[in-house]
Amino acid sequence: MLTVTERASRELKQVLDSVERESNQCLRLITDPQGNFRLTLDIERENDQVVRHQEEAVLLIEPAIAQHLEGAVLDVEDTPAGPALVISR
Q: Which helix (H) or strand (E) covers residue 64, if one does? A: helix 63-68
How far from the centroid of its chain's Cα atoms is residue 85's Cα?
Answer: 9
Map out the domains of the chain as residue ranges: 3-88
- Strand, helix or coil at 33? coil
Residues β-bridged to residue 29: 39, 61
pTM summary value: 0.90
Write down how long the chain is: 89
Domain at 3-88, CATH homologous superfamily:
HesB-like domain (2.60.300.12)
List, run by run, the mean pLDDT of 10-residue segments along the chain (89 residues): 94 95 95 93 96 95 93 96 93
Do residues 71 and 2 lie in contact, with contact meaning Cβ atoms separated by under 8 Å? no
